[in-house]
Copies of this chain bind each other. A is one copy, B any other.
Amino acid sequence: MTNERREKIESVLSKRQNDLTVVLENVFDPHNISAVMRSCDAVGIQEIYVLNTKIPRHKKWGPRSSSSAAKWLTVHQFENTNECFTELRSRYSTILTTHLSSDAVSLYQLDLTKSVALVFGNEHSGVSEEIIQLADGNFMIPQVGMIRSLNISVACAVSLYEAFRQKNHAGHYEKQKLDAEDYSTLYTQWELNHE
């Protein structure tokens, strides 16, 4: 591995944010999942959750797919909602869904500098009622157009970049957030990715 690559890995790891994650609930289209993963990588999210209770476990990504952002992320797959939420609760302070309900607040009213998991739902049915009940709140991306639906990869990117903007402003990218053990584990794994 070249020095340049080593410095790149160190730079990226030093900016990984362990207080922000994305949960994809029954998101079906591999292109959407792939686009979401690229956005996660771009804003420094390391861990994401894939919860499939209604569709089969995904097999499309993995370390063999060089074009995928998956090899730079830690992807947790669940088929059981309660198990997924137990883990989310142990690691993030707040869980928010994106759901166009009457009590949804605007993305721009959220404080995304705090520890938070953002849940995005299925392309057609959205976030399930079960998840909405289990979560702490809803948010929506304001829209003023004739068509009121954004693609999930677009909605996720807009949400994650608002988090990026707030976190950047609050200095979250200026000091390392990963603890020494996580940093070291990922470093070793990413070195192997390059071989």
Binding site for B on A (CB under 8 A): 8-9, 11-12, 15, 35, 38-44, 69, 72, 108, 141-151, 153-154, 157-158, 161-162, 164-165, 168, 173, 190
Contacts and interface: CB of A to CB of B under 8 A. Distances in A.
Contacts of A141: 42, 161
Determine how many copies of this chain the complex contains.
Answer: 2
30 contacts: A9-B146, A11-B144, A12-B146, A15-B144, A35-B151, A35-B154, A38-B145, A38-B149, A38-B150, A38-B154, A39-B154, A41-B146, A42-B143, A42-B144, A43-B143, A44-B145, A69-B147, A142-B168, A144-B173, A146-B190, A150-B157, A151-B153, A153-B154, A154-B154, A154-B157, A157-B157, A158-B158, A158-B161, A161-B161, A161-B162
A12 B148 CA distance: 11
Given A39-B150, A108-B165, A150-B157, A44 B144 contact: yes
Contact of A146 (B8, B144, B158, B165): B8
A43 B144 contact: yes
Secondary structure of the A contact surface, majority rule: helix
Nearest to A13: B146
A190 B149 CA distance: 19
Contacts of A142: 164, 168
Contacts of A144: 11-12, 15, 42-44, 173
A150 to B, nearest CB: 6
Nearest to A149: B38
A145 B35 contact: no
